[in-house]
Amino acid sequence: MTRLDLVIFGATGFTGKHAVVEMARMSSKYQLSWAIAGRSQSKLEDVLRDARRIIGEEISCAKIIIADVKDAQSLRDMCSQARVVVSCCGPYRFYGEPVVRAAIDAQTHYVDVSGEPQFIETMQLKYDAQAREAGVFVISACGFDSIPNDLGVVFLEQNFEGTLNSVESYLSASGPKGSGAINYGTWESLIYGITYLGELPELRKKIYPEPMPECEPKLKRRWCLHRRLGGWCVPFPGADASVLHRSQRARRGADPRHRPLRVRTYVRLPALLHALALLLAALILYVMTRSRCTRWLLLKYPRLFSLGYITAEGPSEEVICNTTFSFHLLGEGWGPGTSLDAAPDKQLAVRVSGVNPGYGATVVALLLSAVTILSERDRMPPLGGVVTAGFAFRNTNIIKHLQEHNLKFEIVSVDF
């Protein structure tokens, strides 16, 4: 049986619907055969109807596939019909593993937009060897978490012209004021991620029993609250630091000569009050997730505890389309010919920027990850496995394709 190029699973969810619309726009350009999948025939038909209305033309979706994350056979049947499964069904802690397992069993590549380190690293621990044996890639965090940072580091390395030692990343975002900036699914993933944060140290010891070599000079930790790039900065709470570390680990494993980079990630806010408020909110969330009762309150009343930023219906199109973001990645190292025993003597900054981070840039990056696997498998590592985008796609043209879809990568001048 000839397989379809890809299937979008979880197409009736908030992110899935946006992925369907973007796939409808992309399919003719990349000449792809594709399908959508989920539990409800009628809801999937509604998704296609809405997509046609939004883009104003007929779409080339090949078929509708009925698949339920609680039905292993339906997942295997779905995966066996495609070369790549694009999973938009989260939270991945609860719904991700059955799809990963089915994809590997069917020898189908898998990509998702998970920003949940516990899920991502658990999949690496449990399924990396199986994915390699099947010759397929399992690549999580192919959205806003963590394509801009992960491929931003690749772009920085490609343009550094010397030896890069360390990278510090600063995220900035702005958008219209008002309620409903983030979808409930993202909030749910965040709450459970904080709840089970303590799982990560033991999990990482199992994945990486040996520490990476310590390369000098080390990247010093900055204060939890510090001023830089004209704003006030705090640690970035997303999955990016975890993903970037995995990328460096994978490169070191593939090539023992690779000098692993030290990377730290931050959020930059325009005012001290905003930064203090974010730190306070993070503390409150951490405390409330320690108890089952208060955790239930967070999940039951997201609008209240997020001050209106989280709603069950998700953000409006106006909010989505008018939200912008940028990552400044500041690299330090040595210029060509400089001894690595000397102090670093070179700096370079790049910026990765775009609009609609959660549901525009995210689904573009997700789908282009699938397209890259389909079209540039020969430029990717020879073995499959549970890996990162920064490792899998570093020698492909994905950055060029992201640029063509308004995710900008550029060298900039900043005051370090």
Question: What is d(CA 357, CA 353) in angstroms, rounded to the nearest whole number?
Answer: 9
Strands in 109-112's sheet, in edge-to-edge order, are 63-66, 34-38, 4-9, 82-87, 109-112, 137-139, 385-387
Please give the pLDDT value at position 177.
65
Tokens linked to 279: 């730190």
Per-residue pLDDT tens over the stretch 60-111: 877 999 999 999 999 999 999 999 999 999 999 999 999 999 999 999 999 9
Contacts of 110 (CB under 8 A, 6+ apart): 84, 85, 87, 99, 100, 103, 104, 136, 137, 138, 139
Q: Three-state SS for 35?
A: strand
Please give the pLDDT value at position 319.
79
- Paired sense of beta strands 163-174 and 137-139, if any: unpaired
Domains of the chain, by residue range, sit at: 4-144+363-392, 147-362+395-412
Mean pLDDT of the chain: 93
- Paired residues of 78 in beta bridges: none
Tokens linked to 299: 């999940």
Class of domain 4-144+363-392: alpha beta
More confident residue, 310 or 354: 354
Mean pLDDT of 31-45: 96
Please give the pLDDT value at position 306.
84
Contacts of 31 (CB under 8 A, 6+ apart): none
Mean pLDDT of 1-26: 94
Residue 182's pLDDT band (boundaries 50, 70, 90)? confident
Mean pLDDT of 337-350: 95
Residue 178's pLDDT band (boundaries 50, 70, 90)? low
Tokens linked to 95: 């719904």
- Domain 147-362+395-412 belongs to what topology? Dihydrodipicolinate Reductase; domain 2 (3.30.360)
pTM equals 0.95
Per-residue pLDDT tens over the stretch 112-154: 999 999 999 999 999 999 999 999 999 999 999 999 999 999 9
Please give the pLDDT value at position 9.
98
Question: What is d(CA 56, CA 69) in angstroms, rounded to the nearest whole number?
Answer: 32
Contacts of 294 (CB under 8 A, 6+ apart): 287, 288
